[in-house]
Amino acid sequence: MAKKKESSSSKGCLSTLLVLAIIAGLVYYFWPTSPPEDGDPKTETITVKGVSFKMVYVKGGTFNMGHTQEQGFENIINEKPVHQVTLSDFYIGQTEVTQALWIAVMSNNMGNGTPKHSSTENLNRPVGSVSWEDCQRFVAKLNQLTGKNFRLPTEAEWEYAARGGKKSKGYKYAGSNNINEVAWCGLPDDIGPKNVATKSPNELGVYDMSGNVFEWVQDKYGSYSGIAQIDPTGCDSGSFGVYRGGAWNYDADFCRVSYRGFCLLLNMNKNLGLRLAL
């Protein structure tokens, strides 16, 4: 009888273990994938018609947006007041959108003509001469091709990523206080932009957020508020959009991470391109 009792107990233990194993398997299968831990970089590679590009994971957090102390003592009115912003997690393009990617998505380099600095020899240069509205058409077509929800980064996301996100070391430019390490800028106008990712990246592993070409963001232009904000998206309406980041034919002051410029949404300059967010 004692032996029979022990056998029954063993069967009970095995049954319990089996149930626990099934439950553990179901939890593992259905539990949402955790984002990478801070300090564990994550990129996602997307390929469109043979052209690949990378999106870099940015862990959300809180930062001071605007003309903070390391940006210098210039009286930059539209970068003030400094205000606290809290952002959710997002992805941002490791590089600016290249001419190769634009051509792959749009079947030409621009709906209204070919940018001045475009040729088959420099497809790894960032695309330029695109308006904010051109960028929206590009994003819509890219989403059709990939089934994803790409967009332009918000102005706050752009600045947070340029500053290095949670890995920020408080640099004046995106990745360094030495402009020559991270940015193509101060070059003659007729040289044009350089191939992407040929300078050092910032703390997140993102390239050219200072220099090369200015980058449209999603926000319409408006003055800053001193009130703390969560995932701000800028003005709801207006004819002017915001661009960030400096360009090859502008000096270093325009490459600061807090610098913000604005122009008509329909405006197309050869030094004005874009970077993707997701």
Where are the chain's structural domains? Answer: 1-31, 43-274
**Range of lowest pLDDT (8-17, 103-112, 229-238):** 8-17
Q: Are 183 and 173 a contacting pair, CB within 8 Å? A: yes
Q: What are phi and psi of 239, to 5 degrees?
A: -100, 0
Q: Which amino acid is at 176?
A: S
pLDDT tens by residue, 17-65: 444 444 444 433 333 334 444 444 589 999 999 999 999 999 999 999 9
Q: Which residues contact 149 (CB under 8 A, 6 or more apart)?
A: 143, 278
**Range of lowest pLDDT (107-116, 137-146, 195-204, 252-261):** 107-116
Residue 166 scores a pLDDT above 80: yes
CATH superfamily entry for domain 43-274: paralog of FGE (formylglycine-generating enzyme) (3.90.1580.10)
Closest C-alpha among 240, 134, 117 to residue 187? 117
Spatial separation of the C-alpha atoms in residues 125 and 115, rounded to whole Å: 12
Residue 14 scores a pLDDT above 50: no
User: Could you check whether the bond before residue 81 is cis, i.e. omega within 30 degrees of 0?
Assistant: yes
Per-residue model confidence (pLDDT) at position 121: 61
pLDDT mean over 145-167: 98
Residue 7 scores a pLDDT above 50: no
Per-residue model confidence (pLDDT) at position 108: 65
